[in-house]
């Protein structure tokens, strides 16, 4: 009888796929482990500052052993029953998970345990002792050990019998023997696993947690990091090794492609094409002095502080060329910024660049030109198999545009992040707009800089002194450097700033109308969706609906993207007056240059971001442009203390200068900004990467918001049976979180009845029982 490791695709008429068998899956995982250790093993160990050749060799062997051991526990009658009855609600899964059985097999089989330890003995007794980390990785590769918040009655506590004979006949034992370089005989008289909660607690969980107690003399910081690294690398191996392949030959093609993607040594030619196409229209792009400094400054941790329009993004692309990085991650604080970066640069290198975030499948569809073939998206078909193929494709892509969560998710054991571990270890990582990070994100960024040695660039238009100090302290063990934007650019007079009482004051309305009449562009920013709607309706009465657009977060996603595109194109048109009314959504995802900014007062960092949309492309000799900040009705959605601090900083700036304000002036005003105490207090809270006695995902990288993603019932019905998820995801509508959440869901979205929502393509959506 062939032992299965995976359920086969339902439409498979050619028998069980190679990858669905335990031998096939284990073979694929071992091949992946070999690729990872051959091409990225040294980088993965050195990413934590461990430059010991013996440890690097130990890691190479350990990952291969982990790949073969991790799923041995699927060779039980209980797991076989689970696969046969997959999808049937009546089946209760075994209480003892397969990774627990794998761990037990590795300890209970004398010859296997001996071969396992002998494979490391030539490195020294420390290497044999350190093999406990392999068992930690095996137990933790699904991040579900020990079980938590589960009710015992959900599971079957029946005994589990291991299929020792089938393990030998199917070839799995042969893989173990190849690694060991010797024969191994299983003892078939090992007792059956009782499968009870008591056995699990007394024979597995308690002894294991005693053995891995952090008080143990074994656990120095270096060893803890090696354990976390090995567990993460095994998760990456298992994720990629789970790709569905019908035959060994099909898998060999996937393996060869994976190896080729890591064997490529330089991104120089790829990035050169993207830079020239996006910046110089196919002409050779010449580096500015600032860009040359960013590209060539020595150091593996670089902080770049430069204003909008200085060429920071091109500078880091050049840096990736200069340091001969094998990969590049360009991270952004929001999905919108990530998509904009991808549109500006990634589309010029489509075979090498990828966009990864929660809505990237929609954005890739929307960014596709009409001439492109509508090739089926990777999400076609059952989600599980699509996810496996997507994991392989993600790992093969050398250039990634993503949200910062994908990288920092390493620290919280986020599976999508761990699956990219080998690629991250060989890449240059760019963190952009870091001053917009909330305290939890800042805490994770600081810890990432503190614990890893992956080359990084941290960028921002304005960095408060206290935040810069925190980043410098986190990078103290690295070769660290800081680069400022070009003086001429940073000192250029861009803004005249005034304060007023409101939009409808005579001076403000007159300024808006005269600016529009001259064929110029006006950007209005309200702190709330309700305020933005009210402003839009007022301005539409003054200048007509065709000349103004409203943008906020409560539009269906595809319509929001289209609205942003319409605004961007209208702002770039010459001699054509236009007004855009937005919320703070414009602060980090809007590539527009307004001639007049009217904004409600906000926290000072938000006001700086809004000023970044004004006179964005100013050249020497261009006059400053006017920004008017008006009083909001109340502090929402911010804290009163944040608003008051913002007002005080703005007043302090205006006392020194209200005319011809530059990026440097803003940076000096921001120097007094205080890093929230919470960012320091968090420490390693929720960073489960460091926990070896238990393996679970950590907390969210971001503070829980007050909105939910929804799908209207009519949109759900209209997209029923769609081959691609992109169209349905494009209908996702973000709304304020109601007191009672809807019960029905699709993916991460709540299904809501149409009568409960008032929706307009012009004004966006709101709950029918709300007033705004």
Angle at 585 between CA 582 and CA 588, to 5 degrees: 125
190/162 Cα distance (integer angstroms)? 9
pLDDT of residue 280: 53
Residue spans of alpha helices (H) in 491-585:
506-517, 529-543, 557-572
Among 160-169, 269-278, 384-393, 483-492, which stretch is predicted with the lowest mean pLDDT?
384-393
488/620 Cα distance (integer angstroms)? 9
If one counts every other C-beta atom within 10 angstroms of the C-beta of residue 372, the result is: 9
**Residue 384 reports pLDDT greater than 60:** no
**Of 538, 709, 517, 531, whose CA–CA distance to 596 is shortest?**
517
Using pLDDT thresholds of 50, 70 and 90, give the confidence band for residue 693. Answer: confident
* Cβ(502)–Cβ(538) below 8 Å: no
Report CA-CA distances (Å) from 88 to 81, 91, 93, 394. Answer: 11, 6, 11, 32
Using pLDDT thresholds of 50, 70 and 90, give the confidence band for residue 55. Answer: very high
pLDDT of residue 754: 96
User: Who's near 656: CB < 8 A, 6+ residues apart?
Assistant: 665
18 against 386, higher pLDDT: 18
127/60 Cα distance (integer angstroms)? 12
Determine the average pLDDT of the residues in 1-20.
77
Determine the average pLDDT of the residues in 442-468.
89
* Cβ(209)–Cβ(693) below 8 Å: yes
Tell me phi and psi for residue 769, to 5 degrees.
-100, 15
Using pLDDT thresholds of 50, 70 and 90, give the confidence band for residue 374. Answer: very low
pLDDT of residue 350: 75
pLDDT of residue 445: 94
**Residue 619 reports pLDDT greater than 70:** yes
41 against 368, higher pLDDT: 41
For tokens 């917009």, the residue is: 436
* Cβ(527)–Cβ(602) below 8 Å: yes
220/75 Cα distance (integer angstroms)? 35
**Residue 454 reports pLDDT greater than 50:** yes
pLDDT of residue 382: 46
If one counts every other C-beta atom within 10 angstroms of the C-beta of residue 537, the result is: 15
pLDDT of residue 372: 32
Antiparallel, parallel or unpaired: β 764-767 and 480-484 = unpaired
pLDDT of residue 153: 66
Using pLDDT thresholds of 50, 70 and 90, give the confidence band for residue 35. Answer: very high
pLDDT of residue 724: 60
User: Who's near 245: CB < 8 A, 6+ residues apart?
Assistant: 17, 18, 19, 24, 28, 251, 254
β-partners of residue 461 are: none
pTM: 0.87
pLDDT of residue 559: 93
| Structure tokens belonging to residue 565 | 């595109």
User: Who's near 217: CB < 8 A, 6+ residues apart?
Assistant: none
611/606 Cα distance (integer angstroms)? 9
**Of 764, 743, 505, whose CA–CA distance to 630 is shortest?**
505
Report CA-CA distances (Å) from 31 to 19, 140, 232, 388, 471. Answer: 12, 21, 17, 16, 39
**Residue 379 reports pLDDT greater than 50:** no
Using pLDDT thresholds of 50, 70 and 90, give the confidence band for residue 247. Answer: very high
User: Who's near 497: CB < 8 A, 6+ residues apart?
Assistant: 626, 627, 628, 629, 650, 653, 654, 658, 661
Radius of gyration of the CA atoms of the chain, in A: 28
pLDDT of residue 380: 30
The conformation of residue 202, written as its DSSP 8-state character, comes to I
Helix (H, G, I), strand (E, B) or coil at 49: coil
Using pLDDT thresholds of 50, 70 and 90, give the confidence band for residue 362. Answer: low
**Residue 552 reports pLDDT greater than 90:** yes
User: Who's near 260: CB < 8 A, 6+ residues apart?
Assistant: none
pLDDT of residue 283: 54
Residue spans of alpha helices (H) in 264-311:
268-279, 289-296
Half-sphere exposure of 49 toward its Cβ, with a 13 Å CA cutoff? 17
Using pLDDT thresholds of 50, 70 and 90, give the confidence band for residue 351. Answer: confident
In DSSP notation, 463-511 reads --HHHHHHHHHHTTTS-EEEEEPPHHHHTS--EEEEEES-TTSHHHHHH
Average pLDDT value for the chain: 86
pLDDT of residue 673: 66
Say which CATH topology domain 18-261 has.
Answer: Hypothetical protein af1432 (1.10.3210)
* Cβ(408)–Cβ(333) below 8 Å: no
pLDDT of residue 8: 67
602/619 Cα distance (integer angstroms)? 28
pLDDT of residue 537: 96
765 against 148, higher pLDDT: 765
**Residue 376 reports pLDDT greater than 60:** no
pLDDT of residue 151: 62
Determine the average pLDDT of the residues in 679-700.
75
Same fold, 266-483 and 492-661: yes
**Residue 189 reports pLDDT greater than 60:** yes
For the domain made up of 492-661, the CATH class stated in words is alpha beta
**Residue 516 reports pLDDT greater than 60:** yes
Q: What b/e string do you get for 249-266 counting C-beta neighbours within 10 Å, with b at 16 or more?
A: eebeebbeebbebbeeee
444/439 Cα distance (integer angstroms)? 9
**Residue 107 reports pLDDT greater than 60:** yes
Query: Strands of 749-752's sheet, edge to edge?
Result: 733-736, 707-712, 749-752, 745-746
Domain ranges of the chain: 18-261, 266-483, 492-661, 707-767
pLDDT of residue 436: 83
Angle at 729 between CA 724 and CA 734, to 5 degrees: 175
**Of 320, 310, 268, whose CA–CA distance to 289 is shortest?**
310
Give the dihedral sign, CA 176/182/183/188. negative
For tokens 């250790």, the residue is: 37
What is the helix (H) or strand (E) element at residue 261, kind and residue range?
Answer: helix 248-263
For tokens 């005003």, the residue is: 669
Tell me phi and psi for residue 339, to 5 degrees.
-65, -35
Helix (H, G, I), strand (E, B) or coil at 268: helix
Architecture of domain 266-483: 3-Layer(aba) Sandwich (3.40)
Using pLDDT thresholds of 50, 70 and 90, give the confidence band for residue 589. Answer: low
Helix (H, G, I), strand (E, B) or coil at 263: helix
pLDDT of residue 373: 32
Q: What is the pLDDT of residues 284-323, one digit of tens each?
A: 567 788 999 999 999 899 999 988 778 888 899 999 998 8
Give the dihedral sign, CA 537/542/548/552. negative
* Cβ(456)–Cβ(431) below 8 Å: yes
**Residue 205 reports pLDDT greater than 60:** yes
133 against 698, higher pLDDT: 133
């Amino acid at each position: 009888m062939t032992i299965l490791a995976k359920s086969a695709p339902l439409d498979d008429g050619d028998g069980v796929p190679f990858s669905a068998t335990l031998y096939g899956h284990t073979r694929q995982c071992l091949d992946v482990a070999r690729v990872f250790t051959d091409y990225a093993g040294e980088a993965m160990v050195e990413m934590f500052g461990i430059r010991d050749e013996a440890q690097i060799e130990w890691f190479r062997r350990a990952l291969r052993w982990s790949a073969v051991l991790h799923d041995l526990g699927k060779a039980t009658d209980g797991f076989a029953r689970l696969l046969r009855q997959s999808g049937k609600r009546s089946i209760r899964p075994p209480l003892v998970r397969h990774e627990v059985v794998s761990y037990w097999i590795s300890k209970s089989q004398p010859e296997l345990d001996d071969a396992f330890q002998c494979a490391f003995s030539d490195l020294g007794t420390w290497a044999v002792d350190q093999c406990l980390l392999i068992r930690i990785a095996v137990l933790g590769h699904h991040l579900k050990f020990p079980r938590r918040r589960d009710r015992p009655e959900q599971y079957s506590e029946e005994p589990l019998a291991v299929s020792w004979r089938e393990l030998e006949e199917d070839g799995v034992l042969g893989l173990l023997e190849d690694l060991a370089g010797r024969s191994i005989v299983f003892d078939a008289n090992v007792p059956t696993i009782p499968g009870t909660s008591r056995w699990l607690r007394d024979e597995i969980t308690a002894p294991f947690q005693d053995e891995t107690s952090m008080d143990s003399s074994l656990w120095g910081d270096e060893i803890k990091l090696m354990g976390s690294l090995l567990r993460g690398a095994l998760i990456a191996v298992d994720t990629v090794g789970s790709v569905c392949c019908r035959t060994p030959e099909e898998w060999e093609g996937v393996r060869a492609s994976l190896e080729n993607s890591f064997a490529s040594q330089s991104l120089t030619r790829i990035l050169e094409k993207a830079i020239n196409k996006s910046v110089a229209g196919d002409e050779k792009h010449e580096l500015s002095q600032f860009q040359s400094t960013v590209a060539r400054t020595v150091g593996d941790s670089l902080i770049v502080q430069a204003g909008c329009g200085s060429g920071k993004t091109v500078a880091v692309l050049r840096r990736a060329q200069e340091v001969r990085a094998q990969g590049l991650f360009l991270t952004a604080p929001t999905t919108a910024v990530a998509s904009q970066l991808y549109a500006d640069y990634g589309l010029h290198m489509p075979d090498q660049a990828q966009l990864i975030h929660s809505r990237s499948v929609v954005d890739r569809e929307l960014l596709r030109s009409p001439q492109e073939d509508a090739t089926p998206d990777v999400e076609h078909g059952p989600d599980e198999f699509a996810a496996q193929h997507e994991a392989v494709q993600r790992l093969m892509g050398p250039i990634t545009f993503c949200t910062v969560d994908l990288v920092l998710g390493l620290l919280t054991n986020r599976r999508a992040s761990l699956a990219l571990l080998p690629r991250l270890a060989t890449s240059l990582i760019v963190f952009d707009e870091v001053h917009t990070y909330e305290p939890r994100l800042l805490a994770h960024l600081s810890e990432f800089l503190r614990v890893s040695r992956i080359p990084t660039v941290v960028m921002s238009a304005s960095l408060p002194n206290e935040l810069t100090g925190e980043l410098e302290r986190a990078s103290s063990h690295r070769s660290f450097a800081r680069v400022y934007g070009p003086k001429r650019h940073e000192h250029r007079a861009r803004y005249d700033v005034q304060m007023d009482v409101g939009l409808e004051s005579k001076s403000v309305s007159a300024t808006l109308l005269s600016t529009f009449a001259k064929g110029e562009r006006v950007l209005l920013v309200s702190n709330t969706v309700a305020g933005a709607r009210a402003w839009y309706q007022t301005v539409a009465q003054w200048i007509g609906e065709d000349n103004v657009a409203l943008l906020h977060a409560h539009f269906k996603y595809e319509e929001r993207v289209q609205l942003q595109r319409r605004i961007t194109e209208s702002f770039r048109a010459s001699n054509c007056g236009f007004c855009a009314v937005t919320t703070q959504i414009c602060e980090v995802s809007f590539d527009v240059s307004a001639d007049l900014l009217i904004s409600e007062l906000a926290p000072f960092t938000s006001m700086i971001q809004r000023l970044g949309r004004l006179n964005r492309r100013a050249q020497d000799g261009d006059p400053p442009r006017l920004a008017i900040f008006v009083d909001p009705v109340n502090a929402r959605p911010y804290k009163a203390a944040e608003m008051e601090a913002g007002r005080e900083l703005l007043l302090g700036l205006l006392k020194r200068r209200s005319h011809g304000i530059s990026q440097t002036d803003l940076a000096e005003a921001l120097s007094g900004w205080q890093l929230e105490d919470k960012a320091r207090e968090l420490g390693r809270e929720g960073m489960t990467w460091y926990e070896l006695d238990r393996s679970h995902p950590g907390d969210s990288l971001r503070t829980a918001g007050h909105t939910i993603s929804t799908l209207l019932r009519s949109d759900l019905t209209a997209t029923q049976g769609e081959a691609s998820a992109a169209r349905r995801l494009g209908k996702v509508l973000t709304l304020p979180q109601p007191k009672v959440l809807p019960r029905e869901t699709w993916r991460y979205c709540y299904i809501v009845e149409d009568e409960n929502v008032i929706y307009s393509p012009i004004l966006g959506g709101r709950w029918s029982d709300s007033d705004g």
